[in-house]
Structures are given as C-alpha cells and as structure tokens.
Amino acid sequence: MSPTEVLSEAFELGFTYTRSTGPVVGRFLTGLRDRRIEGVRASDGRVMVPPMEYDPDTAAALDDFVEVGQQGEIVSWCWVSEPRKAHPLQQPFAWAMIRLDGADVPMIHCVSAASEDQLATGARVQVRWAEETRGHIADIACFELAEVAQ
C-alpha cells in the first residue's frame, strides 16, 4: 500500500425542485405579484396570513379571502448578526413574526434595521416590496420599521 495524498474538493449537490402551489397559496403568491397581501378567514372568524387551504378546526376547505394591511407589528423576533449566503438580506437583519393589520395570526418574514436595538416586540413595521415581483414570497423584499419607511 503506497501512501497517497488524500483528495478533497468542493462539491455541490443541487435539487432543482419546482413546487405546485395549489389554489390557495397560488392565490397568495399571485396577490404578492400585484403587491397585495391576502389572507383567508377561518371558521372561527380569524384571518390567517398566509392563507391556509383547510380550516384548522373543521378541516373544511377555505375560500373567504381577505386583503390585509401592509403594515403590522412585531410579535417576536430574532436578530441574525451573521447572515448566510442563502438568507434574504446580506447585512445583519431579524427574522420576525409579524402580525399584519387585519390579520389574527403572525407571519414570519425578515426585518431590515440598522441595528438590533432599533427593534422591539410591538414595533410597527411596513412592507418593502421587491423592485420586480414574480409571484414569490421574496416579492416582499423585507419589512422595515414603519417610522423609518416614511
């Protein structure tokens, strides 16, 4: 047995998935493309964003779509001080649960802010749309503090 240099190289494994959205998520994404955010009203009256296909209590199909606001409040959040390449923002940002005006449940998205101490639970945030929308969750480029956005 001869000693051999152990070989090593960069290797990328790619899964080039495409996903069918179904009618409800498809409608949500179609709305985002038009810079609108739509939820769906559940059997107990709550507005869920993003919309769900089936009622969480009765399992009945849901189709009472409701447009919600483009501002909301941070329900909880987590600061990402070292973003990774796959993250939506390359400077430090927060992942946040955001309850949009008119919605009863929070939705996860990212919040752009200059620093961690600008953020707080209860802070008002507002959508910043991507320059070009394409029917994707990233059509919402991020949320920003509502005061800053003005």
Assigned token pair, 115:
């620093």
The first and second tokens of residue 60, run together, are: 């009945």
135 binds other proteins per the rule CB under 8 A: yes
Any contact of residue 131 with other proteins (CB under 8 A)?
no
Q: Is there binding between residue 5 and other proteins (CB under 8 A)?
A: yes
User: Is the Cβ of residue 84 or residue 122 nearer to other proteins in the bound state?
Assistant: 84
Q: Choose which of 8, 81, 90, 150 interacts with other proteins (CB under 8 A).
A: 8
The span of 6-14, 69-77, 87-95, 103-111 binding other proteins (CB under 8 A) equals: 6-14
Q: Which of 32, 26, 24, 75 is nearest to 48 (CA)?
A: 24
Stretch near other proteins under the rule CB under 8 A, chosen from 56-64, 66-74, 87-95, 130-138: 130-138
- Contact at 8 Å (CB) between 65 and 27? yes
Asked if 81 contacts 116 with a C-beta cutoff of 8 angstroms, the reply is: yes
**Which residue is it, tokens 């929308």?**
133
Asked if 82 interacts with other proteins (CB under 8 A), we say no
CB of 84 to other proteins, least distance (A): 11
Bridge partners (DSSP) of residue 97 are 76, 108
Q: What angle do CA 128, 98, 48 make, to 5 degrees?
A: 105
What 8-state DSSP symbol labels residue 34? Answer: T
Q: Is 88 in the site for other proteins (CB under 8 A)?
A: no
Residue 90 near other proteins by CB under 8 A: no
Residues 12-71 that bind other proteins (CB under 8 A): 12-21, 26-27, 29-30, 33
- Measure the CA–CA gap between 10 and 125, rounded to whole angstroms: 40
**Contact footprint for other proteins (CB under 8 A):** 1-2, 4-21, 26-27, 29-30, 33, 134-136
